[in-house]
């Protein structure tokens, strides 16, 4: 059986833990199936690639606290990897992880504050060389 290899662009514009986690797990699964994966974090998603802010991502912040706490407890019981661990795995296994330069600027973030391995995107190249030719463009 031959593997189907795709060029995948994944954009994450949220800093809600479940959205970020879903984006990262999707990226890792596709990467491990042989796809070329590029992730782009923009808007509030920029907080997910910030070394300190990533630790404070909230689960279901628009729901009662008990619901978010219950999901977090279940994730711990399932012994799921942390967001930081997922970033490490993605980058170590060859995914490209990019931060939106506009949002880096707007939120006053230094490139040194980004998770190790995350690069500031060059929008002209990102859209032309990643988004347009991608076989799949996914957004979270």
CB atoms within 10 A of CB 100: 22
pTM of the model: 0.91
Rounded distance, CA 138 to CA 38, Å?
Answer: 10
- In the chain, what are the domains? 7-39+47-100+112-139 (3.40.1260.10)
Per-residue pLDDT at 137 = 97
Per-residue pLDDT at 120 = 97
Rounded distance, CA 40 to CA 11, Å?
Answer: 5
For residue 81 the two structure tokens come to 């990897």
The pLDDT tens digits along the chain (140 residues) read: 666 789 999 999 999 999 999 999 999 999 999 999 999 999 999 999 999 999 999 998 888 889 888 888 888 899 899 999 999 999 999 999 999 999 999 999 999 999 999 999 998 899 999 999 999 999 99
């Amino acid at each position: 059986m031959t593997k189907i290899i795709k060029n995948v662009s994944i954009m994450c514009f949220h800093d809600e833990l479940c959205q970020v986690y879903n984006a990262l797990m999707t990226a890792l699964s596709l990467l491990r199936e042989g796809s070329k994966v590029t992730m782009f974090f923009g808007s509030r998603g920029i907080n997910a690639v910030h070394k300190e802010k990533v630790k404070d991502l909230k689960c279901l912040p628009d729901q009662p606290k008990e619901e978010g706490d219950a999901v977090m407890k279940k994730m711990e019981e399932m012994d799921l990897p942390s967001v930081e661990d997922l970033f490490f795995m993605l980058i170590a296994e060859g995914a490209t992880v990019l931060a939106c330069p506009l949002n880096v600027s707007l939120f006053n973030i230094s490139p040194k504050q980004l998770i190790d391995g995350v690069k500031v995107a060059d929008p002209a190249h990102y859209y032309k060389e990643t988004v347009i030719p991608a076989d799949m463009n996914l957004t979270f």
